[in-house]
Amino acid sequence: MSELTQRLMSLVAILAVCGIAVSSVSLKHHYATSKTEYCDIGKSFDCDIVNRSEYSAIEGIPVALIGMLGYAALAGLATVYRERRETPALLFGGAAAGLAFALYLTYIEGHVLGVWCVLCLSSLALMATTTILAAVVWWSGRSE
């Protein structure tokens, strides 16, 4: 594994840990019983509305928990399993799936709920960056 690939894997791991942190805060707000001031920025931004909407869980599983597990899987691939031959493809596939899910949720925020969540948008940015880095890792691994 090249030095560039090792550095990119480390960056993916750092972003994944940041994603776990953002998702855990979102999960906390999902289960909160009272309204919070966090991310309540006028009519356009309100994390409480997003994190407590009917779209905040799938089959009873909070989307934020799904995010935490997804980020943990990416962190594991980028650290524990980084030396395996199939890891770059799995990392890119997992990140791309996470990005697709984040884009779907962003669509729900903007076009169904009509309100944005700063935590969700932060997670989207983390996942988009992770996907780009994973694509570079995967592509560079194909030429090695």
Q: What does the pLDDT look like over 27-36, one tens digit per residue? A: 998 898 777 7
Mean pLDDT of 114-140: 95
User: Which secondary-structure segment (H or E) carries 58?
Assistant: strand 57-58
pLDDT tens figures, 40-73: 787 889 888 898 899 999 999 999 999 999 999 9
Domain that holds residue 117: 3-143
Residue 20 in contact with residue 68, Cβ under 8 Å?
yes
Q: Could you tell me which residue, 38 or 143, shows the higher pLDDT?
A: 38
Packed helices 63-78 and 87-107: angle between N→C axes, nearest 10 degrees: 160
How many domains, in total, are found in the chain?
1
Whole-angstrom Cα distance, residue 88 to residue 140? 9
pLDDT at 144: 58
pLDDT at 33: 79
Pair of tokens at residue 137: 């890792």
The amino acid sitting at 46 is D
Of 23-27, 81-85, 89-93, 101-105, the range with the lowest mean pLDDT is 81-85
pLDDT at 59: 96
CATH number at residue 30: 1.20.1440.130
Total length of the chain = 144
Q: What is the pTM assigned to this prediction? A: 0.92
pLDDT at 143: 62
